[in-house]
Amino acid sequence: MTIKPLIILPDPVLRQVSKPVERIDAESLQLADDMLATMYDAPGIGLAAVQIGVPRRLVVIDVSREGEEKTPLVFFNPEIVASTDARSTYEEGCLSIPDYYAEVERPAGVTVTYVDRAGEKQTLEADGLLATCLQHEIDHLNGTLFIDHISRLKREMVIRKFTKAAKSKI
């Protein structure tokens, strides 16, 4: 497993809409493993392939708590097919927007269809942190960032800060 460099805001790659994973093969499974290694190293609880510069519909998640056994989840071509009317708010962060956190309100529960590592179509009903994480990562696949769910003023401040930081590194 290889730890990959993360794409950081304001890189335009983060706004790309990811294309479906055509087949589950050794290459796509290796990508999932590299993503898990990268996510754990960061450390984070979710990662979309586009965050390492691969605009494919692949998400990895592990919401296990520190000290618990790791429970890595891999979702090829995930799609939210239903969401609850109930809402929940979590303080979200993003590996592509380091050290910035904001309260985001989303549906409290979602139903997601996806293809697993074995190439089988699956359906998962999720609530709590897993539901929030799935929505956050699937947003990435559609070119949406969690800051798109906060006020325009806060979002513009964050984008300005990261754009300035990126220019200072050139």
Mind telling me the catalytic residues? 137
Q: 14 near 24, Cβ under 8 Å?
A: no
The helix (run of H) or strand (run of E) holding residue 125 is strand 121-127
Residue of 57, 32, 154 lying closest to 103 (CA atoms): 154
Angle at 32 between CA 26 and CA 68, to 5 degrees: 130
> CA end-to-end span of the chain, whole Å?
30
Long-range contact pairs involving 62-65 (C-beta distance under 8 Å, separation at least 24): 62/36, 63/129, 63/130, 63/133
Report CA-CA distances (Å) from 98 to 52, 106, 110, 130.
14, 21, 26, 20
The Cα–Cα gap between 87 and 5 comes to 34
User: What DSSP line would sit under 90-108, residue for residue?
Assistant: EEEEETTEEEEEEEEEEES
